[in-house]
Amino acid sequence: HLGIETTTGPLGQGLANAVGMALAEKVLAATFNRPGHEVVDHRTWVFLGDGCLMEGVSHEACALAGTLKLGKLVCFYDDNGISIDGEVHGWFTDDTPKRFEAYGWQVIRDVDGHDADAVARAIDAAKADDTRPTLVCCKTIIGYGAPNKQGTEATHGAALGDAEVAAARQHLGWPYEPFVIPGDIKRAWDATERGSKFEQAWKDRMAAYHKAHPQLAAELERRLAGRLPDGWHESLDEFIRAAQEKPAAVATRSSSQQVLNVLGAAIPEMLGGSADLTGSNNTNHKGSK
C-alpha cells in the first residue's frame, strides 16, 4: 500500500516509463470514472537528471506527454550540471525549460532544490494545473555537504569514502555514529495513519461504485488484479487453427493486424500506437479509435 515505484537503469527509460504510467491513469479514469464516482485519480511523480534529458527516448516520450495533456505527470529535474564525466555544460547545451514549454508542459523554473519550502510551493503549482504535465527545474549541488567533493563528479558514481563521510558529518554538524532519523522528523513523515485513512476513503468510494456501476467495478478490479478476461485465448486459438488449415501468403504486418483484430476484441485494455505510420504498419485494429 506504499504506492508503485519503478527505478530503471538505462537513462531516459524511467521518464518514458513514467509517461506510460500517467497515460494509464488517464485512460483508466476516462474508462471507469462516472459522475460522482472518481475511483481513478492519482499522480505520477518522477525524479530525473541531465543524463535522462540527453537521451532521445525522453524527447519523444515528453513530446507525447504534452500532446496527450497528461496533467497528472509531475517531473523534478535534478539540475546539478554534473555527470560521471564531469560538468555537462560542454556537451548538454539545450535550453531545457524552453524545450519543455514547446512540448506543451508547465515549466517551473529556478527552484532551489535544497529549499524544502520552495519545492513544496512548486508541488502546489504543479497540482493546480491538471491540463499540462509539469517540469520542476531544481538547481542542486551534487554531494551537498561533502566539503571536499560536493559539486564534482567525484560524488556521482562512487562512494564518498570514510574520510569524506567524516568530513561531511562534521561540516553538517551530524554526530559520527550510525545514521538515524531524528524522532521529530520520523514522526512528521510517518504516513501510516494518514495513508490508512486515504486507503479507507478509496475503499468506501469503491463500495459506492460497486452499487452504482457493478459491471464497471468488476471490470476495473479484474484489470487491477492483472487478470486477463475469461476465455480471452479461445478466439485466438480458433484463428490460429483456421490459419493452419488454410495457409496463405500474407505480409507480416497484415498477419499482425489480423491477430490484433482478435486480441483487441478479447482484451479491451490492450493499448498501442503507430507513430503516424498506421497505413504502413497496420497497427490499428477493428476496435481502434
Q: Give 135's strand partners.
A: 75, 107
Q: Which residue has the higher pLDDT, 184 or 287?
A: 287
Q: What is the pLDDT of residue 1?
A: 46
DSSP secondary structure letters along 229-286? PTTTTHHHHHHHHHHHHS-----HHHHHHHHHHHHHHH-TT-----TT-HHHH----T
Read off the pLDDT of each residue in 225-248 and give the average, rounded to a whole number: 94
Question: Which distant-in-sequence residues (6+ apart) come within 8 Å of 85 by Cβ?
Answer: 153
Q: What are the pLDDT digits (tens) for 105-118? A: 999 999 999 999 99
User: What does pTM read for this prediction?
Assistant: 0.89
Query: How confident is the model at residue 3, as a pLDDT?
Result: 64
Mean predicted lDDT score pLDDT of the chain:
93
Beta carbons of 202 and 39 less than 8 angstroms apart: yes
Say what percent of the chain tops pLDDT 90. Answer: 82
Grid cell at residue 33? 470514472
Can you give the length of the chain in residues?
289
